[in-house]
Amino acid sequence: MKTRITELFGIMHPIIQGGMHYVGFAELAAAVSNAGGLGMITGLTQKTPSDLAKEIARCHQMTNQPFGVNLTFLPTVMAPDYPGYIDAIIDGGISIVETAGRNPQEYLPKLKNAGVKVIHKCTSVRHALKAEKIGCDAVSVDGFECGGHPGEDDIPNMILLPRAADELKIPFVASGGMADARSLVASLSLGADGINMGTRFIATKEAPVHENVKKAIVAASELNTRLIMRPLRNTERVMNNPAVERLLEKEAKLGKNIQFEDIFEEVAGIYPKVMMDGKMDAGAWSCGMVAGLIHDIPSCRELIDRIMSEAEKIIRNRLMGMIS
Ligand SMILES: Cc1cc2nc3c(=O)[nH]c(=O)nc-3n(C[C@H](O)[C@H](O)[C@H](O)COP(=O)(O)O)c2cc1C
C-alpha cells in the first residue's frame, strides 16, 4: 500500500509503533521495522544520551530498515538533557523522530538541518496546525481513545480525524484505538495516511515486557481503562487496578487542591515494576480502550501482515462490492 506516510518515511506499510515508556526498546522497534512498519525506540526510557546511543546501535544490528526515536517533552521543571538526546539521535544515523508532549519548535532546526523527518504527536487540531506551521513533516493525531495522554479536549477519532483532514496539508496518521484492518481502512477513509498503534504492539511476541502485561491486555475489555490526573491537567488513560482506584479516590476527596505529591506513590517509578517485573498492581500504567479489540499475542510480522491482507479484502470485497 502506498500513502503519503509510506513515501515520507520509506516504509512498506503505513503502520507506526508509537513510543512507549519501558516498552519501546530495540527488540520491538526492530521487529516492527523488519515487518515493514516503522518501529520506534523510546528515547527517555534510556537514562542518559549515551544509553540511547547504545540502544540505537543495538537496533541497527537487528534491522537494516528505517526506525525512529520518540522524544517526549515532559512538563517538568528539571528537564532531561534534550540537546544530548538529540545529538545521540543524529549521531546514531536516525532519520525519523516522533516528538510528543510540549511544542518541539526549539529543537526543530537542529533535527531538520541533520535531515531528520519529524512527526509530532498531537491530541487536537489546533496543536496539529501549530506543528505544521513550525515545520514538522507529519503529525500523529491521538484521539480520546488512546492509551497514554489524550489531552484535555476529549474528542474521539471519529470527529478528530476528519477535522484534522479538513485543516492539515501535511500527512497524518490516526492514533488511539487502532488494532486491526478495520482500524486502518476506517482511518484512511477519514483522511489519515496510516495508523499509529501503542497498546496493540505491547501484546506481541517481540515486545520486551513481562508476560503478565501481555496477558492483562488480552484479558481486559474496552471498559477496563480509567482517566487519571485530570485535576492536574495531565490526563492519562491507564489500565484500572487497585492502585488506580486508590488514586481516583484521592482525586475525588482532594478535588482541585490535589498536588502531584499526593499521588506520587501510584504514579512515580511504576513502569519498570510493571513492564519488567510484571507487578501489574504496582501503580498506574498507560493502556488504551483498544484492549477490548486485542485477543491474541502474535509476532509483529503476523500482526502487520494480517492487517494489510485483511485491509485489502475489506477494500476489494466489502467496500467495492457495495458499489459494483
Ligand atoms: C504503556 C504505554 C506507554 C506510553 N509511553 C509513551 C511515551 O513515553 N511517549 C509518548 O509519546 N507516547 C507514549 N505512549 C502513547 C503511544 O505512543 C500511542 O500514542 C498510544 O498508545 C496510542 O493509543 P493506543 O494505545 O490506543 O494505540 C504510551 C502508550 C502506552 C500504552
For the CA of 178, the closest atom of ligand 1 is: 27
Q: Whose CA is nearest to atom 28 of ligand 1?
A: 20
Q: What is the pLDDT of residues 241-296, one digit of tens each?
A: 999 999 999 999 999 999 999 999 999 999 999 999 999 999 999 999 999 999 99
For the CA of 175, the closest atom of ligand 1 is: 22
Residue with cell 502487520: 304
Instruction: List the Cα angle 16/120/85 in 5-degree steps.
Output: 90
CB of 213 shorter than 6 A to ligand 1: no
CB of 290 shorter than 6 A to ligand 1: yes
Query: For residue 75, what pLDDT is reported?
Result: 73
Query: For residue 173, what pLDDT is reported?
Result: 98
Q: What is the DSSP string of 114-139?
A: TT-EEEEEESSHHHHHHHHHHT-SEE
Contact 101, 107 (CB under 8 A): no
**Cα 313 to middle of ligand 1, angstroms:** 29
Query: What is the C-alpha separation between 100 and 192, in angstroms, rounded?
Result: 19
Cell of 166: 479538513
Beta carbons within 10 angstroms of residue 76's beta carbon: 8
Q: What is the pLDDT of residues 136-174, one digit of tens each?
A: 999 999 999 999 999 999 999 999 999 999 999 999 999
Confidence of residue 6 (pLDDT cuts 50, 70, 90): very high
The alpha carbon of residue 223 and the mean position of all alpha carbons in its chain are separated, in whole angstroms, by: 20
Query: For residue 77, what pLDDT is reported?
Result: 72
Q: What is the pLDDT of residues 58-88, one digit of tens each?
A: 999 999 999 999 999 987 778 899 999 999 9
Query: What is the C-alpha separation between 82 and 267, in angstroms, rounded?
Result: 23
Q: What is the pLDDT of residues 189-241, one digit of tens each?
A: 999 999 999 999 999 999 999 999 999 999 999 999 999 999 999 999 999 99
Domains with residue ranges and CATH for the chain? 4-202 (3.20.20.70), 225-286 (no CATH)
Query: What is the C-alpha separation between 100 and 199, in angstroms, rounded?
Result: 17
Query: For residue 74, what pLDDT is reported?
Result: 85
**Cα 319 to middle of ligand 1, angstroms:** 31
Query: For residue 103, what pLDDT is reported?
Result: 93
Q: What is the DSSP string of 26-78?
A: HHHHHHHHHTTSBEEEEGGGSSSHHHHHHHHHHHHHH-SS-EEEEEEE-S-SS
CB of 197 shorter than 6 A to ligand 1: yes
Q: Sheet harboring 117-122: ordered strands across?
A: 15-17, 195-197, 172-175, 138-142, 117-122, 96-101, 67-73, 39-42
Radius of gyration of the chain (CA): 19
Query: For residue 258, what pLDDT is reported?
Result: 96
CB of 288 shorter than 6 A to ligand 1: yes
